[in-house]
Amino acid sequence: MRWRHAVRATFTSTTATESSPLIGKVISNSRAPQIAHEMLVEYFMALLVIMGLTAPVDKQSRRSSQYFGHLAAAEELSNLIPDNYDAIDPVFDNTTDREVIAALGTTARLHCRVRHLGDRAVSWIRQRDLHILTIGIMTYTNDQRFLARHIDNSDEWVLKIVSVQQRDAGVYECQVSTEPKISLAYKLVVVTSKAQILANRELFIQSGSDINLTCIAPQAPGPYTHMLWHKDTELVSDSARGGIRVESEQQMKTSNLVISRVQHTDSGNYTCSADNSNSDSVFVHIIKSEQHAAMQHELGSRLLLPPLPLLLLAVLLVVLLGPTSSLQIRTPLSTR
């Protein structure tokens, strides 16, 4: 009985002890938000007062600026943007040929077009060794074969290479000095082109005959090739004497020279030349009339020869056919 009572007392005191932390917890939870809220309100009110008081010193403008603070801020922002700000970036015109074929010893031109250049510079660089060639219209390299060409107010900047050499073949870069740079690569191909006359180096033509010379330049660069004929140092034309005709196909890179009934005065060195190509020459010799008569005689003697073999054949046939027929008749009779 006494023990049971002691147990009850223990439970009661434990319960009382446990409840007190809960009460404390509730108080602390409710108190903190209220304190924070009051402080925040006071903080923001103080900030508003300070902002109002930092207006300009002028009494009149001070009142108005409190109401038009946004306008003042906008004005300040506009002052930060400079009027001459160049926002357009340069851009390449990609329609120019990026691969240029030039014949050895000729002049090559690389065309670079840039729009909205502004205050940037256009430069040409040889990519092989990073050699700077030109900047703007100034030539930097001391290789005098490289030149810059530009017409004022145009978008085109040209690199001109005079007397192209085989070592000039490679990639060239048109560069604009933006940050980072923009550039366009060009490829220069150097070809060795040579016109070719389809004939022996020396021709011997009978007087009164016709001459037909054909010249081709298949490797000449470009879609069309203009070809010319020279006799010694003079351009061949119809006006020199009648009976001369030049037929050229620029697209086929072919040219024919036809001279009718050659005379002794037609002897000479004939040269064919084509654009961006080396020329070719043949020497024509006109043979005199005596040689002409001798050749006719030879032809005549040849005409007499054919009949004789035919006669011999006829005789042989008659001789061979006779004995054969008689032998065949006798053989059947002897067997009977």
Partner 1 sequence: QRVEVPAEVIVDPKFSSPIVNMTAPVGRDAFLTCVVQDLGPYKVAWLRVDTQTILTIQNHVITKNQRIGIANSEHKTWTMRIKDIKESDKGWYMCQINTDPMKSQMGYLDVVVPPDILDYPTSTDMVVREGSNVTLKCAATGSPEPTITWRRESGVPIELATGEEVMSIEGTDLVIPNVRRHHMGAYLCIASNGVPPSVSKRITLVVHFPPMITVQNQLIGAVEGKGVTLDCESEAYPKSINYWTRERGEIVPPGGKYSANVTEIGGYRNSMRLHINPLTQAEFGSYRCVAKNSLGDTDGTIKLYRIPPNAVNYVENFEARHKGKKRTKSSESHHPARAQEHSGEDMENPGKRKADLSLGAESIDSIYGNSAAGSRRRQDLGGVLLLLLPVAVAVAMSLATAGVMRETQMTLPPQTLTHV
Among 1, 5, 16, 35, contact with partner 1 (rule: CB under 8 A): 35
Phi, psi of 44 (to 5 degrees): -70, -40
SS3 content of the chain, % helix, strand, coil (to 5): 35, 30, 30
- Per-residue DSSP letters for 132-155? EEEETTEE-SS-TTEEEEE-TT-S
Q: Which stretch binds partner 1 (CB under 8 A): 19-27, 74-82, 198-206, 244-252?
A: 19-27
By CB under 8 A, tell whether 11 contacts partner 1. Answer: yes
Cα–Cα distance, 70 to 78 (Å, whole number): 13
Q: 101 or 182, CB closer to partner 1?
A: 182
**Between the CA of residue 29 and those of 25, 26, 34, 214, 318, what are the distances in Å?**
6, 5, 10, 111, 152
Helices (H) and strands (E) in the chain, counts: 5, 19
- Tell me if residue 55 falls in helix, strand or coil: coil
Q: Which stretch binds partner 1 (CB under 8 A): 25-33, 95-103, 255-263, 278-286?
A: 25-33
Among 16, 21, 30, 233, contact with partner 1 (rule: CB under 8 A): 21
Own/partner contacts of 245-251, CB < 8 Å, gap of 24 or more, are 250/224, 250/225, 250/226, 251/223, 251/224
By CB under 8 A, tell whether 46 contacts partner 1. Answer: yes
Per-residue contact flags (x/-) with partner 1 for residues 113 to 132, judged by CB under 8 A: -------xx-x-x-x-xxxx
Among 1, 16, 28, 298, contact with partner 1 (rule: CB under 8 A): 28
Q: Which stretch binds partner 1 (CB under 8 A): 91-99, 153-161, 178-186, 229-237?
A: 178-186
Q: Which residues bind partner 1 (CB under 8 A)?
A: 7, 10-11, 13-14, 17-18, 21-22, 24-25, 28, 32, 35-36, 39-40, 42-43, 45-50, 53, 120-121, 123, 125, 127, 129-132, 135, 140-143, 173, 175, 177-181, 183
